[in-house]
Chains A and B, each alone.
Chain A
Amino acid sequence: MTKLEKKLEHWTVNKIITPDQAEQIKTFEESNQNINWAYYGFLILGALSIGIGFISIIAANWDDISSTAKLIFTFLTLLSLASFNYNLKLKDKKLGLEIGLFLFYLLCLGSIGLISQIFHTGGEFYQATLIWSIITIGIAFYSEKIVIPLIWKSFFIASVVWSIADSNWMHQYIRHNELYFTILACYISSFISVSAIKLNANNSFIKASIIVSIITYIQYIFTLDLFSNFDHKWMTSPLIIIVFLLLTVLIAFVINQSKLLKKNAIILFLILNAILLTLIYIPTVTSPKPILYALASILCLILLALIFASIKHRVLFQFILILISIRIIILYIQAFGGLAATGIGMIFSGIIIMSALFFWNKYRKQLTFWAERITS
């Protein structure tokens, strides 16, 4: 029995709606149903398997046929798949078109690999993925499902950041590369998100953009946290502080533009990032305390959890809860060090986590309502 059927049964039993109304709702929903997500998921998996299989076959570097023949075969396959996709569009076969686009998207990468092999161009992987991202940007924009835009944006950001990291001028000026590049990833991601919203891109592209923005933000927080254990001197640089402040504003702008949240949620986001800034930078001037960075990371994650709870996005909320739990466990290991003490700490953490989960499960509705109120 589906979720909807369970709800309809529950409402009918409690006489909120009549059995006829329940039947009407069910018929209406079924006729307007989006593609079943599990069915689509398996189809994507199948397409991915075919795509990777094709790339592997290309990678086997057939010696029996000439390079020209390999290239002609590849281009003919691309053309055939393109015309097949166009046909699917004319017949309004949405699911088939999505799968076809995904296969075509993967095949483009395989073709770049083949060209690289035939001409022995070598080069770095990020160069191939950058070319791939540029030539397939249209597919990412066009797709009505989230998979292609999500993969596209992730590879595009990684390629751009990696190519900047690998450039000669960057080596000359930036010594502690890693944190700067996570900041860069966050900026590029946010810029793409805002541009997508302003250009009225597909909902799937906007959604994928926002997800990647949030992921790069979390990644930045964790990198900052991680770096706190190694070197502090460079973190007092005014440039870092300014960059961080601008980044915070930009992320808030992205969230605001997405119209997911109400005004107070953004203010809360900014306040908690200011606390993060204080916790990180002011103590480093006097005596650096790595544990403060850990607390700051946890605070930021709690904020994100609050944001997702306020928009009733259970999956993302639970994902953030898992991240918070992992960070708490690592905190114990950092704080105590010894095996026995860590063991006790972890048991204690486990009890806290399970209690928190029990608490969440029991008071989920009230907590969601409270989160909604606090951000409205």
Chain B
Amino acid sequence: MKIQNKSLIVILLIPILSLILLTGYKAYKKSSGEELNLPIRGYDPRDLISGHYLTYQVDYGVEGVCKSFDNRIEYSEKFEAFICLQPKYFSTSHPKNCQRYIKGECQGSRFIAGIEKFFIPEEHALKLEKLIQNNSAEISISLQENGKAMVHDLLIQGQSWQELIKK
């Protein structure tokens, strides 16, 4: 019985500790990277079971992203890709002589870096959609040295969406 009781403690603590570690890891990644703002376009709000979220395309200011060199859509499958932000270029291999880059993958003609979604509260979804459509919008991201990025905030005309909603 004692052994069973002890095993129950372990079984119940493992998920809790794992989730705390996961949260800590995410918080560390968020705070440790370089902060950047990137413009977004192609807004498409949808419903999901986890709440409303905004999907968009990030405007990296780079031509021919996920396309062949003669601008035809060549790739039909997923593969790893990189966008160098300084200087600006797209590459299917690890970028050289690049100060900062974002790592993602090409899915068809779209470059996905895991920063194309932003969670927004249900009650503000419509208001936010109108604000974004009528104004310029950006996402504030945290960029790691290995090219992985995390979204911090959604900015509309340079202001955080939360402050704008309150106004």
Residues of A within 8 A of B (CB): 55, 58-63, 71, 75, 78-79, 82, 85-86, 89-90, 104, 108, 111-113, 115-123, 131, 134-136, 138-139, 141-142, 166, 168, 171-172
What residues of B have a CB within 8 angstroms of the CB of A58 in the complex? 50
* Contacting pair A86 B77 (CB below 8 A): no
**Is B43 part of the contact surface with A, judged by Cβ < 8 Å?**
no
Stretch at the interface among B57-65, B82-90, B93-101, B113-121: B113-121
What residues of B have a CB within 8 angstroms of the CB of A120 in the complex? 115, 117-119, 150-151
The DSSP consensus for interface residues of chain B is helix
Residue pairs across A and B with CB atoms within 8 Å: the count is: 106
* Contacting pair B78 A171 (CB below 8 A): yes
* Contacting pair B116 A122 (CB below 8 A): yes
The verdict on A75 contacting B16 (CB below 8 Å), with A62-B121, A115-B22, A139-B11 known, is yes
Which residue of A63, A142, A171 is within 8 Å of B11 (Cβ)?
A: A142
* Contacting pair A90 B5 (CB below 8 A): yes
In the complex, which range does the number of interface residues on chain B fall in? 35 or more
* Contacting pair A135 B19 (CB below 8 A): yes
CA distance A361 to B117 in the complex (A): 57
- Shortest Cβ distance from A374 into chain B, in angstroms? 42
A61-B119, A168-B78 known, 7 other contacts, Cβ within 8 Å: A55-B49, A59-B51, A75-B16, A89-B4, A112-B19, A119-B26, A120-B150
Sample (25) of A-B pairs whose CB atoms are under 8 Å apart: A55-B49, A61-B52, A61-B120, A61-B121, A61-B122, A75-B19, A75-B20, A78-B16, A82-B16, A89-B8, A104-B12, A115-B26, A116-B50, A117-B51, A117-B119, A119-B27, A119-B150, A121-B114, A122-B114, A122-B117, A131-B22, A139-B12, A141-B11, A166-B78, A168-B78
CA distance A168 to B120 in the complex (A): 30
In chain B, positions 1-42 with a C-beta closer than 8 Å to chain A are 4-5, 7-16, 18-20, 22-23, 26-27, 30
Which residue of A90, A117, A138, A168 is within 8 Å of B10 (Cβ)?
A: A138
* Contacting pair A60 B22 (CB below 8 A): no
- Shortest Cβ distance from A373 into chain B, in angstroms? 42
* Contacting pair B23 A113 (CB below 8 A): no
**Is B105 part of the contact surface with A, judged by Cβ < 8 Å?**
yes
CA distance A119 to B22 in the complex (A): 11
CA distance A78 to B15 in the complex (A): 9
Q: Which residue of B lies closest to A85 (CB)?
A: B12
Q: Which of A55, A61, A115, A142 gathers most chain B CB within 10 Å?
A: A61
CA distance A118 to B19 in the complex (A): 13
Q: Which residue of B lies closest to A112 (CB)?
A: B19
What residues of B have a CB within 8 angstroms of the CB of A59 in the complex? 49-51
* Contacting pair A168 B80 (CB below 8 A): yes
CA distance A353 to B77 in the complex (A): 47
The DSSP consensus for interface residues of chain A is helix
* Contacting pair A61 B51 (CB below 8 A): yes
**Is B110 part of the contact surface with A, judged by Cβ < 8 Å?**
no
Which residue of B49, B50, B162 is within 8 Å of A63 (Cβ)?
A: B162
Q: Which residue of B lies closest to A132 (CB)?
A: B15
* Contacting pair B14 A135 (CB below 8 A): yes
- Shortest Cβ distance from B97 into chain A, in angstroms? 26
* Contacting pair A86 B8 (CB below 8 A): yes
Which residue of A62, A71, A89 is within 8 Å of B5 (Cβ)?
A: A89
What residues of B have a CB within 8 angstroms of the CB of A141 in the complex? 11
CA distance A172 to B124 in the complex (A): 42
The verdict on A108 contacting B19 (CB below 8 Å), with A117-B119, A120-B117, A171-B77 known, is yes
CA distance A368 to B11 in the complex (A): 42
- Shortest Cβ distance from B112 into chain A, in angstroms? 9
* Contacting pair B14 A138 (CB below 8 A): yes
CA distance A119 to B4 in the complex (A): 37
CA distance A27 to B53 in the complex (A): 59
What residues of B have a CB within 8 angstroms of the CB of A135 in the complex? 14-15, 18-19
Render B117-161 as a binary contact track against A, CB cut-off 8 A, 1 for contact: 111111110000000000000000000000000110000000000
The verdict on A85 contacting B8 (CB below 8 Å), with A75-B20, A117-B51 known, is yes
* Contacting pair B121 A86 (CB below 8 A): no
What residues of B have a CB within 8 angstroms of the CB of A79 in the complex? 16
What residues of B have a CB within 8 angstroms of the CB of A62 in the complex? 121
- Shortest Cβ distance from A45 into chain B, in angstroms? 19
* Contacting pair A168 B121 (CB below 8 A): no
What residues of B have a CB within 8 angstroms of the CB of A89 in the complex? 4-5, 8
What residues of A have a CB within 8 angstroms of the CB of B150 in the complex? 119-121
Q: Which residue of B lies closest to A110 (CB)?
A: B50
* Contacting pair B23 A71 (CB below 8 A): yes
- Shortest Cβ distance from A206 into chain B, in angstroms? 18
Which residue of B11, B19, B50 is within 8 Å of A111 (Cβ)?
A: B19
Q: Which 4 A-B pairs have the closest CB atoms?
A: A138-B11, A122-B117, A82-B12, A120-B151
Q: Which of B23, B115, B120, B151 gathers most chain A CB within 10 Å?
A: B23
What residues of B have a CB within 8 angstroms of the CB of A115 in the complex? 19, 22-23, 26
